């Protein structure tokens, strides 16, 4: 099973794949599924706002396309490359499917 650090690093790496020519705010997300696999996604902006895709939805789509259905943890990282970075690590609790934010901060 991937560590929290690996999940956060995957989210940070996904930021480089973002397409954000309008906001200049790149976001990457990484999802850990119940089988220990990491699925990443990035935000994709569109000139016809709000028809873009957020990083979290992109990562969920990647997970679904890989044949998985259950999210264990999500890491999200975002920033514009100048003012630091926002990080969040979210654990999904069973059986209630409630989210617990274990870390959220600006670095």
Q: Give the residue numbers annotated as catalytic, written as ranges.
A: 56
Q: Can you tell me the distance from the alpha carbon of 98 to that of 15, in angstroms, rounded to the nearest whole number?
A: 26
Torsions phi, psi for 63 (to 5 deg): -65, -45
**Residue 17 corresponds to which tokens in the numbers above?**
């794949």
CB 60 within 8 A of CB 76: no
């Amino acid at each position: 099973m991937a560590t929290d650090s690996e999940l956060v690093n995957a989210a940070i790496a996904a930021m480089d794949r973002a397409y954000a020519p309008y906001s200049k705010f790149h976001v990457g997300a990484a999802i850990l599924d119940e089988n220990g696999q990491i699925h990443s996604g990035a935000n994709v902006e569109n000139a016809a706002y709000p028809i873009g895709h957020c990083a979290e939805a992109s990562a969920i789509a990647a997970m679904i396309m890989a044949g998985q259905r259950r999210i264990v943890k999500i890491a999200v990282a975002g920033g514009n490359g100048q003012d630091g970075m926002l990080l969040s690590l979210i654990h999904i609790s069973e059986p209630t499917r409630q989210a617990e934010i274990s870390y959220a901060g600006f670095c």
